[in-house]
Chains A and B, each alone.
Chain A
Amino acid sequence: MLYSIRRRLRKRAIGQLNASLHWHVLLAIVGLIVLFMHAFGHFAMISGTFALYSMVALTISGFVGRILDHVMPRLIAREVDKVLTMQGDDGVESTSQKLQAVVVHNTQENRGIIVSQSQAPIPMPGSLPFTTNGQSLGASWDLAYISLEPTQQELDQNAPHYRFIPDKKSALNRPGALMPGAEEHLLALQDMQLAMRREQFFRYIIRYWRVLHILLAFITIGLVTWHIIFASTILWPRFFH
Chain B
Amino acid sequence: MTTCREIHDFLMTWLDGELEPAVNERFEHHIAACSCCNNYVDSYRKTVELGRTAFDPCGDAASESTDAAEVHPPLPDELVQAVLAARRKASPPGDGA
- Asked if A and B are interacting partners, one says no
